[in-house]
Every structure is written in structure tokens, then in C-alpha cells.
């Protein structure tokens, strides 16, 4: 496979150097692999720290900035960051108001963030943790015990980030983050496998003319494999899988998320079908976001995330945000 890289061993380091050059509003510690908003710590504000394996960009580093994350810790491709990164990040953003760790439910991430929380608390930093586990496709996978954390991570980071930006206390920011996770569900579909730089070939075999329903963001197996379906059929299957589990009574935020290689032309067409299903099912839509936000390298495909919102969650979603990957109102 052709890739725009030097060598596989320096992919993450090279990307961080490039990110630092493109975004002077961030402090990018390339050696220790920590990305921090330049004005951190912000007096009176809870610090928000997340992270995970690289390859899902703009998640997480692209969501660092006012109104969202205070810091992010990128690991190697599809590999958890280490506790030392997370402790450095927590120390860099702690203003005395505490730090919230936002953790996707993957075994390595959970174990390392748990260890980092203990180490940070030993250094006098108050830490709370929220686990994101929104994927309805499968209960357990190659990388998880329980449901995987996927597209809802964006909703959690944005809404909790807005609350922190307002100066709300750690307990309240944590509660809101948990509410967002509990109110969110996702389902993803792969049209092709992704290719990691280290392997240089597709991570799994998906024959031409077939797709995988319920895929994870690392290429984990889903619910089933079928012959290729139309956008309309995929929307019917995906949205109904989410609604069977969520059953929203309030309006929803909609994320139609590309997995990395699907063009916006197709994503917007897919969104039209997603909106059709929601209308047919009587689900009111408050806001919609379409694009590549929680990706899987060069995988073709898409995921749908719905988050049921009340007035406060919607207000926090609409609040200004200024990050490399998400920006409005500023």
C-alpha cells in the first residue's frame, strides 16, 4: 500500500511535529507525546484529558482547545498511551479545580488511565473518570470487555468541555459527561478494511462486494457480513439498531461520521437517508454534524451516533469551541 509517510516507526512523531507547526495555539510535546492547549492551566477551570491510540484523527488531539479538551495523549497507532503521558497531561492542565479523564472503553485505555489516576492523585491532583461505551453493535470485542467507545466520545468531550469552560465544578462536569454517554448510542459499517503503517496491508479480509455491519474503529468484527447494500439499506439497518437500544423521547444530536476514506459526497448522501429513517420513526433532530471525526485510518465506511439531549445539553453543545477539528461560535 502507498502511504504518505517516511517510515512506519516515526508516523506518530512526524504527525505531532506537523501538528505543532500548524497549530501554534497548542503546546505539542513531541518527545513525551502530550498535546495541551497553550493557555493551560486555566484558573478555576476543570481540566479535561483524553487520549487513545493514533489513527482516529481528529480524535483526540484535534479536539484540544477552548470549549473542549484541555489535553490529549496520543499512543502508537491503535495502541493505548501510557500512564506517564496521562499524568503529564493532568499536571499540565490542573488549575486546582480537578481533572476529568474521558476514557473510551478499550482494555488498554481503561487500565492505563486507571493507573494514571492513582499516580496523579498521589501528586495531589483530584481526578474523576468517565468511561465512554456507546457502541450497540457487539457486547464484547477483541479490544473490550463490554461495549466499545466510539462516536459518542465527541459528544462527551464537547459538552463536558463547554461545562468546564463555564467554570462548572468537577462533580458537575463529570455528571454531565456521564449523562451524555448514557444518552448516546452508535453503530458503524465498514466498506473496506484499514491499513496500519506497521503492517502495510489491510488489517482484515473484506472481499469485494461485501461489507461488515457493526464494525469497531480498529477493524474489530461486527455483527455480521453481508453483500454490499445501498446507502438507504445501510441507514435503515444502522439507525434502527441504534433506536432499538436508545428509544429517545427528546430530540437528538446526530453524528454521521466517516471512517477516514469515505468522501463527504457520500457522507452527505448517507445523512439524507439517516434523516429519512429518523423522520419515519418520529425522532426529532436538534443538530446534525457530518464529517470525519472518529476515524479508523483509511477505512471506508461510516458510523451513526445519536445523543438524546435536554435544554442544558443542547446549550452546551451549541457553546463556542475552538479546536483544530471542531470550531464554531468563536
Q: Which residues belong to the active site?
A: 56, 218
C-alpha closest to that of 212 among 298, 153, 137: 137
C-alpha closest to that of 267 among 246, 238, 247, 242: 238
Residue 41, preceding peptide bond in cis (omega within 30° of 0): yes
Burial class (CB within 10 angstroms; exposed 0-12, middle 13-18, buried 19+) of 330: exposed
Backbone angle region of 308, left / alpha / beta, with phi > 0 → left and psi within -120 to 50 → alpha: beta
Residue 62, C-alpha cell as written in the block: 484535534
Q: In angstroms, rounded to a whole number, what is the distance separating the alpha carbons of residues 275 and 278?
A: 5
Q: Other C-beta atoms within 10 Å of 114: how many? A: 15
Residue 329, C-alpha cell as written in the block: 461560535
C-alpha closest to that of 73 among 97, 40, 48, 39: 48
Asked if residues 40 and 162 have their Cβ atoms less than 8 Å apart, the reply is no
Q: In angstroms, rounded to a whole number, what is the distance separating the alpha carbons of residues 63 and 56?
A: 12
Beta-bridge partner residues of 258: 302
Angle at 178 between CA 173 and CA 183, to 5 degrees: 125
Q: Which residues contact 202 (CB under 8 A, 6 or more apart)?
A: 192, 193, 194, 195
Angle at 175 between CA 304 and CA 173, to 5 degrees: 95
Amino acid at each position: 500500500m502507498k502511504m504518505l509517510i517516511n517510515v512506519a516507526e516515526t508516523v506518530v512523531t512526524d504527525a505531532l511535529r506537523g501538528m505543532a507547526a500548524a497549530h501554534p495555539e497548542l503546546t505539542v510535546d513531541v518527545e513525551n507525546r502530550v498535546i495541551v492547549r497553550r493557555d493551560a492551566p486555566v484558573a478555576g477551570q476543570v481540566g479535561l484529558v483524553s487520549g487513545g491510540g493514533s489513527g482516529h484523527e481528529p480524535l483526540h488531539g484535534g479536539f484540544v482547545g477552548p470549549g473542549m479538551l484541555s489535553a490529549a495523549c496520543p499512543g502508537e497507532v491503535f495502541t493505548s498511551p501510557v500512564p506517564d503521558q496521562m499524568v503529564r497531561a493532568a499536571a499540565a492542565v490542573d488549575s486546582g479545580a480537578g481533572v476529568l479523564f474521558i476514557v473510551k472503553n478499550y482494555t488498554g485505555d481503561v487500565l492505563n488511565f486507571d493507573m494514571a489516576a492513582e499516580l496523579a492523585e498521589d501528586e495531589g491532583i483530584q481526578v474523576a473518570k468517565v468511561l465512554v461505551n456507546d457502541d450497540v453493535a457487539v457486547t464484547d470485542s477483541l479490544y473490550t470487555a463490554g461495549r466499545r467507545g466510539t462516536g459518542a466520545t465527541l459528544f462527551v468531550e464537547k459538552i463536558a468541555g463547554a461545562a468546564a469552560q463555564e467554570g462548572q465544578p468537577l462533580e458537575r462536569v463529570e455528571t454531565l459527561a456521564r449523562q451524555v454517554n448514557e444518552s448516546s448510542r452508535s453503530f458503524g459499517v465498514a466498506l473496506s478494511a484499514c491499513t496500519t503503517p506497521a503492517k502495510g496491508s489491510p488489517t482484515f479480509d473484506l472481499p469485494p462486494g461485501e461489507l461488515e455491519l457493526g464494525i469497531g474503529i480498529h477493524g474489530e468484527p461486527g455483527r455480521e457480513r453481508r453483500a454490499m447494500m445501498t446507502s438507504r439499506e445501510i441507514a435503515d439497518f444502522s439507525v434502527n439498531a441504534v433506536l432499538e437500544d436508545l428509544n429517545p423521547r427528546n430530540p437528538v444530536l446526530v453524528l454521521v461520521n466517516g471512517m477516514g476514506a469515505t468522501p463527504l459526497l457520500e457522507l452527505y448522501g448517507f445523512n439524507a437517508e439517516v434523516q429519512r429513517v429518523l423522520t419515519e420513526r418520529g425522532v426529532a433532530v436538534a443538530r446534525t454534524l457530518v464529517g470525519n471525526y472518529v476515524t479508523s485510518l483509511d477505512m471506508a465506511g461510516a458510523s451513526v451516533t445519536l445523543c438524546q439531549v435536554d435544554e442544558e445539553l443542547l446549550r452546551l453543545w451549541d457553546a463556542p469551541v475552538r479546536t483544530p477539528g471542531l470550531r464554531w461560535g468563536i
